[in-house]
Amino acid sequence: MIVVTGAAGFIASCLVTRLNAANFNDIVVVDNFAVERKLANLKGKHLREYVDRTEFFDWLDTHHEQVEFIFHLGARTDTTEQDRAVLDLLNLNYSKQMWQACCRYQLPLVYASSAATYGSGTLGYSDQDDALLPLYRPLNPYGDSKNDFDNWAINQLEKPFFWAGLKFFNVYGPNEYHKGRMASVILHAFEQIQKTGSMTLFRSHNPDYTDGGQMRDFVYVKDVVEVCYFLMRQRQHSGLYNLGTGEARTFLDLALNTFAALGRTADIQFRDTPEDIRDKYQYFTQADMSKLRSIGYNQPFIALEEGISDYVRNYLVPGAYL
């Protein structure tokens, strides 16, 4: 059996599809299944059992001998969440409990970290030096919760025999439909263009960047799940790994490619970045992917143009799920 937490969510549900495609069908999905808007992400998938996240550790105590691998992708992912008690409960303490269970039962673990741990990026975006972890200053409590767990994990004397923490950069793709404000800019662009024929981006408040010239490392969810699958099969070289493409692209690139995928003439407007997030706004992120490449992951990452075209034409327009 393979356990996937956060399984009704965006990345985890796409991972379940990838596992099914490889004939892994004994999948135990863990989540808060009372959130009905996410349940469509699991429709039609081959699953063994649904386990509520509050009951999972009792379930694992009983069934651990049958479990082969754990993907812990469940988290409170709202980057605007200010309630640190919620973030400590779901992102820090639950993850500690998962780590300790994997140590106790000698289970391999891949868990979701985040590029939000890097903060403004003043120390770069390299995953090579764990000594930098205590020096990172995330820009929001969500990033703090992820960095707190990375720091805790690195300093544990007892570790799972294989583990990997994945620092997701800006992931986009099918099955993010339930995420609302936290969905990718591509989904928001698609919805705006379909409704109004135009797209609005944040104006730059940094003289080093033009309006729409702010840059992110946008990574397609299909690449993300390929990396997860690779790590499950390899089970060597534990550690923290970036998961982006290694190439930053502008928001203007993103918007223009969304218009192109829809066959529409580009009409892009700009508005001021809201003041409540302006001082925490990242103008540039780009993953250093050399560490993942060094352990044998050699598949090319999907270019933004190709990823947006696939997402828009094969999923957003027909309203399809992965």
Please report, for the chain, how many H helices and E strands are present, in that order.
Answer: 11, 13
Please check the confidence at residue 276 and state whether its pLDDT lies above 90.
no
94 is catalytic: no
Q: Which of 179, 209, 280, 321 is catalytic?
A: 179
Please check the confidence at residue 307 and state whether its pLDDT lies above 90.
yes
Q: Can you say which residues are annotated as belonging to the binding site for NADP(+)?
A: 10-11, 31-32, 38, 53, 73-77, 146, 171, 179
Question: Nearest CA to 53 among 28, 78, 77?
Answer: 28
Question: Nearest CA to 163 among 149, 177, 175, 174?
Answer: 149
**What does the alpha-carbon distance between residue 273 and residue 276 come to, in Å, rounded to a whole number?**
9
DSSP state of 300: P
- Mean of the pLDDT values across residues 158-169? 98
> Which three-class secondary structure state does DSSP give residue 141?
helix
Split at pLDDT 50, 70, 90, the class of 67 is very high
pLDDT (tens digit per residue) in 252-265: 999 999 999 999 99
State what percent of residues in the chain have pLDDT above 90.
Answer: 94
Q: Can you say which residues are annotated as belonging to the binding site?
A: 10-11, 31-32, 38, 53, 73-77, 146, 170-171, 179, 181, 188, 202-205, 216, 281
Phi, psi of 49 (to 5 degrees): -160, 145
**Structural tokens at position 156:** 């544990």
Instruction: Give the dihedral sign, CA 172/241/17/33.
Output: negative
pLDDT (tens digit per residue) in 194-230: 999 999 999 999 999 999 999 999 999 999 999 999 9
- Mean of the pLDDT values across residues 224-248? 98
Q: What is the pLDDT of residue 28?
A: 98
Please check the confidence at residue 275 and state whether its pLDDT lies above 90.
no
pLDDT (tens digit per residue) in 51-65: 999 999 999 999 999
Q: Which of 94, 125, 142, 241 is catalytic?
A: 142
H or E element, residue 187: helix 185-196
142 is catalytic: yes
Split at pLDDT 50, 70, 90, the class of 70 is very high
Pairing outcome for strands 239-243 and 163-168: parallel
